[in-house]
Structure 1
Amino acid sequence: MMAGFIRDILTTLSYEPGRAGADQQAAMTRLDDRLTSFADTAAHSGAPLLLRAADCAVWDGNPRDQPALNAESCRSLIESIATEGGNRIPALVRLNPPGADLPYQLLVGSRRRFAINWLNHNGRPELRLSALIVDMSDEEAFRLADIENRERADICELDRARSYQDAVDRFYGGVQSRMAEALSLSNSQLSRLLALAQLPQEVVDAFATRAELKVRYSELLTPLLRRPEQRADMIAEARRIGAEQQSLAAQDERMIPSATVLARLREAAAPRHRDEARDLPIILDGDRIGRVRAGKNGGLAIDLQIADDADIDALLATLRTALLRTRNSASQ
């Protein structure tokens, strides 16, 4: 009966990212209500068990950012569980293989597990996690966790995108179309999410929080990052912004807003004008090692910063390419 119940959830609940509203909220309500109803009416071996929260390791395929869970973000849930004497909506767990450190692996219900574990250490040691034990594959567990987490406010688009990036290889053999079909996504929707996951870490760190980095930003930045010279300039600017963000955070000052970060990154990739059109970076092995610029009396000037162990032949070939590129851009 439990297996049929889970298969029914996976079959009848679907997801269209970016489509927030009453229908999405209704889908979440149906999932929570189904778990609660099943737990309330089950009169068989599939009825919920009361487990110690500390006996449940969170499955590593869950998209939720576990370190981000804290007493403040879970405050209302903690208060609700404390008042009701437990979690009304059961979590879903499966048995860990023999020899594992903990007996259970938590698939759905990370916030409930956190809340009860927090209460166990803060005056309510008697509380236990109400959970249903299920038997499902990793791919099914991923889909179910995605259904449970997809519209939670504390799971940002970047965390979900990175979980998708991991899942496409882990569960779908690297075939995006298979994953898109399994999650009821279009190929374009999935591609946009995966592009977000592939943004350089320097760009991610330029934003005040990961939650501020949206799919729509990735759609603007990804095409610019595909050109080596623009990529180098954007990453250099992203590093500068990231350093500024860290300094502001250390002084407890207002961070640079996401719209400003986006504008600065796009400006760094903008084409140069007049003599600046001939001021182009020299890229070697993905790193900017110098630039070719307009000389004071015409011609070209070169600025280089070369490591002691630099490959001279590769450097000369790179320099020749940069000179030709600069000369061609000046003649256009």
Structure 2
Amino acid sequence: MAGLIRDILSTLSRDGAPARPAVAEQDALSRLDERLTSFSQAALDSRAPLLIRPAECAVWDGNPRDQPGLNPDSCRSLIESIAAEGGNRIPVLVRHNPDASEQPYQLLVGSRRRFAIDWLNHNGRPELRLNALIVDLSDEEAFRLADIENRERADICELDRARSYQQAVDRFYGGVQSRMAEALGLSNSQLSRLLALAQLPEEVIGAFATKEDLKVRYSELLTPLLRRAEQRADLISEARRIGQEQQERAAGAGSMLPPATVLSRLREAAARRPRDTSDIEILAGGERIGRARPAKGSIMLDVTIASDADLDALFAALKETILMARAAA
């Protein structure tokens, strides 16, 4: 079975495209879902799929999906489909739990299916079990497989995905962004933009009504402003004010501020101080590697490069900083 799953990892498209618009799950299976369904129906590897209780598997902590965010409303169509079919037609993927006690399995792929079966067990269908396939995969392979599935789901927000990538780059790829980008089929610039979103200050994230409102394109606009000390202070102060206002509105004082309004106010706050020619930090992989100083007709760079530096990430950071310095000159 592990060999078949690794074949999926090598053959499925991983182009980094955004999720397609939401469609009823039973009407638009992803290619991963189709492959898993065919494996289950054919009982490959001479083993029938396992039927387990949802409580028997712990959700693996490397999965990017926000488990507390799952609820009956967001999973309604899936719950109805599973109830009508008498179980999950698309099997989940589990592996043996190395810390097995009451939960002998780790769930790698299929969090929504597990939630739906569990909800049905507690709401009139106690006989249903979770259709599962056992695989033997490394953490890195499990992360890639979960990433392939979750890219096709409209309910995985960009911030959750970005945060999972931020954790994964160190956990699975030794902190080397280019290794991770290659493994996931992403360009270095795509990965850098996602990591920048994950690195936004909590005050800025809290200014938006929901984390789903935060988009990668917003971090592209805000990150350069956060690199200048005075602009950063002004932007974060405004973010705190907006966050407080959002809390008051949520308590009943009015509708929540839309993301475009929040973004505009944050950028305006950072623009109140006149631009100067102070140094601009050069960041690569979240680490400060030097400074750039814009001057009339030139840009001075002072960079310290480690012998094992990720050159792709370094060149991308230098290009971004030079463009910022040109705008400030």
- In the superposition, the TM-score normalised over structure 2's length comes to 0.79
Q: Kindly tell me the number of residue pairs found equivalent between the two proteins.
A: 273
Q: CA RMSD in A?
A: 2.2
Per the alignment, do residues 242 and 140 of structure 1 end up closer, same or farther by CA in structure 2, a change over 3 Å counting? Answer: same
Per the alignment, do residues 69 and 224 of structure 1 end up closer, same or farther by CA in structure 2, a change over 3 Å counting? Answer: same
2:164 aligned partner: 163
1:97 aligned partner: 98
Deviation at 1:20, TM superposition (A): 5.0
2:150 aligned partner: 149
| Within-5 A mapping of 1:107-256 | 107-251=108-252, 253-256=254-257
Per the alignment, do residues 230 and 271 of structure 1 end up closer, same or farther by CA in structure 2, a change over 3 Å counting? Answer: same
- The 2-side partners of 1:157 and 1:258 are apart by 14
Task: Kindly indicate whether the alpha-carbon contact (under 8 Å) linking 2:20 and 2:153 is maintained by their aligned counterparts in 1.
Answer: no
C-alpha offsets along residues 52-104 of structure 1, whole Å, 9 cap, x if unaligned?
Answer: 01111100000000000001100111111111110000000001125444111
Task: Kindly indicate whether the alpha-carbon contact (under 8 Å) linking 1:176 and 1:187 is maintained by their aligned counterparts in 2.
Answer: yes
Question: Radius of gyration: which is bigger?
Answer: 1
Task: Kindly indicate whether the alpha-carbon contact (under 8 Å) linking 1:13 and 1:27 is maintained by their aligned counterparts in 2.
Answer: no
Task: Kindly indicate whether the alpha-carbon contact (under 8 Å) linking 1:14 and 1:183 is maintained by their aligned counterparts in 2.
Answer: no
Deviation at 1:151, TM superposition (A): 2.4
Task: Kindly indicate whether the alpha-carbon contact (under 8 Å) linking 2:19 and 2:151 is maintained by their aligned counterparts in 1.
Answer: no
SS in 1 for 2:246: helix
The letter of the residue matching 2:6 is R
2:58 aligned partner: 57
Task: Kindly indicate whether the alpha-carbon contact (under 8 Å) linking 2:159 and 2:197 is maintained by their aligned counterparts in 1.
Answer: yes
C-alpha offsets along residues 276-299 of structure 1, whole Å, 9 cap, x if unaligned?
Answer: x99xxxxxxxxxxxxxxxxxxxxx
Identity %: 77
| Within-5 A mapping of 1:47-86 | 47-86=48-87
- The 2-side partners of 1:163 and 1:19 are apart by 16
- The 1-side partners of 2:181 and 2:81 are apart by 36
2:16 matches 1:5: no
Per the alignment, do residues 152 and 19 of structure 1 end up closer, same or farther by CA in structure 2, a change over 3 Å counting? Answer: closer
The letter of the residue matching 2:179 is R
Per the alignment, do residues 28 and 173 of structure 1 end up closer, same or farther by CA in structure 2, a change over 3 Å counting? Answer: farther
Task: Kindly indicate whether the alpha-carbon contact (under 8 Å) linking 1:93 and 1:105 is maintained by their aligned counterparts in 2.
Answer: yes
- The 2-side partners of 1:141 and 1:252 are apart by 45
- The 1-side partners of 2:270 and 2:198 are apart by 20
Task: Kindly indicate whether the alpha-carbon contact (under 8 Å) linking 1:94 and 1:134 is maintained by their aligned counterparts in 2.
Answer: yes
- The 1-side partners of 2:253 and 2:107 are apart by 37
- The 1-side partners of 2:124 and 2:253 are apart by 33
SS in 1 for 2:145: helix
- The 2-side partners of 1:272 and 1:172 are apart by 40
- The 2-side partners of 1:170 and 1:100 are apart by 25
C-alpha offsets along residues 221-275 of structure 1, whole Å, 9 cap, x if unaligned?
Answer: 00000001000110000000000001101117310000000000000000436xx
Per the alignment, do residues 70 and 157 of structure 1 end up closer, same or farther by CA in structure 2, a change over 3 Å counting? Answer: same
- The 2-side partners of 1:10 and 1:44 are apart by 18
Task: Kindly indicate whether the alpha-carbon contact (under 8 Å) linking 1:172 and 1:179 is maintained by their aligned counterparts in 2.
Answer: yes
- In the superposition, the TM-score normalised over structure 1's length comes to 0.78
- The 1-side partners of 2:97 and 2:124 are apart by 29
SS in 1 for 2:200: coil
